[in-house]
Amino acid sequence: MSAVDSMSPVTGLTGIKAWLKDWSELMKARLSLLVLLTTLVGLYCGSGGQLELWRTVFTLLGTSLVAAAAAALNEWIERDLDAKMIRTAQRPLPMGRLSPDEALVGGAVMAGVGLTILFFGVNAPVAFLAGMTVALYLFVYTPMKKWTALNTLVGAVPGAIPPLIGFSAGRGNLGLEGWALFSILFLWQIPHFLAIAWRHREDYRRAGFRMLPCHDERGRVTGLVALVYCLALVAASIWPVYLQSAGLGYALGAVVLGAAFAFLAGSFAWKPNLVSARNLFLGSIAYLPILLILLVVDRK
C-alpha cells in the first residue's frame, strides 16, 4: 500500500468533518437552536403541557429544516456582501469552501422537505406560517437591509413566528397566548440586534447595509431605541399572566428580568461603548431562555 493510499481514509474523514462544519455554519446552527427552543415552548403552551410524541417530532424537525434553509438561502443571496465584512468574510460561501450552487440547491431542498413535513405531519396552517417566515426573511427583510433602517423591525417579524408555529401545532389555532409569545420574541429581538449592529456598524457600512447604528455614531439614539423596546418588553412579558396562563412566580421573574434588561439598555444609552453594547448583547442572550423556562415551570 502506498503512502497516499494509507492516508486517504484520514483525509476523507477530515474532509467530511470540514464539509459538515461548513454546512453547520451556513445553516447558522446556533440560531436554529434558538428557533427550536421558542417553537418547543410555543408547542408546550399550545398543547396545555401535553406534548404528543410524533406531533412534537414533526413540528421540531420541519421547523428546524425551514430555519436552516432560510439561513442558507440568505447567505447565498448575500454572499458578495458578506465578503466585504470582517465578521462574515470567513463564511463558507465568501471563502469558496462551499459553492453557490450547492448552497442554493441544499437550501431549496431543506425548505421543501421541511414544509412538506409540517403540512402532512402537523397541519396546513403551520406549514403556511413556516412558508411565510421564509418568504418574509428572504424576499422582504433581506433586500430591505439595503434600503432602510426599518429593516430591523421587519426582520423581527419572521424571527417571532416560530413560537406561533409551535402554538398553532399544539392548539390548532393561534390564540391570544400565541400572540403573546410572538410579541415577546418580536420586542426582544430589537435591543438584541441593535447591540450587535452598533458593535459592527463599520462592517455594515462597508457592505452598504442601512442599519440604525450606521447613522448613529455616538450610539445615543440606538441606545434609547433599545431602552424603549426593553420597557415595552416588560409589559408584553406580563401578558401571559393577564391571560391566566402563567402564575405570580413567572410574573415576578418577568419583571425582574425585564428591569435588568432595561438597565443594560439604559447603561448603553447613557454611555455607548463596546463594553456597554457587549453587556446588552450578553444580557439579551441570558434573558430569553430564562424567561421561557419560567413560563414553562410556572404554567397554569
Confidence of residue 9 (pLDDT cuts 50, 70, 90): low
Distance CA 57, CA 289 (A): 21
pLDDT bin (cut points 50, 70, 90) of residue 22 is confident
**Greater pLDDT, 14 or 66:** 66
> Is a pLDDT exceeding 70 seen at residue 45?
yes
Write the CATH number of the domain with boundaries 177-300.
1.20.120
Give dist(CA 194, CA 213) in Å, integer: 7
Three-class HEC string of the chain: CCHHHHHHHHHHHHHHHHHHHHHHHHCCHHHHHHHHHHHHHHHHHHCCCCCCHHHHHHHHHHHHHHHHHHHHHHHHHCHHHHCCCCCCCCCHHHHCCCCHHHHHHHHHHHHHHHHHHHHHHCCHHHHHHHHHHHHHHHHHHHHHCCCCCCHHHHHHHHHHCHHHHHHHHHHCCCHHHHHHHHHHHHHHHHHHHHHHHHHCHHHHHHHCCCCHHHHCCCCHHHHHHHHHHHHHHHHHHCHHHHCCCECHHHHHHHHHHHHHHHHHHHHHHHCCCHHHHHHHHHHHHHHHHHHHHHHHHCEC
Residue 54 has pLDDT above 90, yes or no: yes
What average pLDDT score do residues 195-200 get?
Answer: 93
177-300 has the same fold as 27-173: no
| pLDDT band per the 50, 70, 90 thresholds, residue 11 | low
Say what the pLDDT of residue 214 is: 87
134 phi and psi, to 5 degrees? -65, -45
Helices 3-26, 100-121: inter-axial angle, 10-degree rounding: 60
pLDDT in tens, 81-103: 989 998 889 999 999 999 999 99
- The structure's pTM equals 0.90
Q: Give the model's pLDDT for residue 215.
A: 85
Confidence class for position 6, pLDDT limits 50, 70, 90: very low
Query: Which CATH architecture is the domain 27-173 placed in?
Result: Orthogonal Bundle (1.10)
In whole numbers, what is the pLDDT of the chain averaged over residues? 92
Confidence check: pLDDT of 295 > 70: yes
Quote the pLDDT of residue 124: 95
Higher pLDDT, 170 or 5: 170
Overall average pLDDT of the 276-280 stretch: 96
**Mean pLDDT of the region 118-145:** 96
Q: What are the boundaries of each domain within the chain?
A: 27-173, 177-300
pLDDT in tens, 140-165: 999 999 999 999 999 999 999 999 99
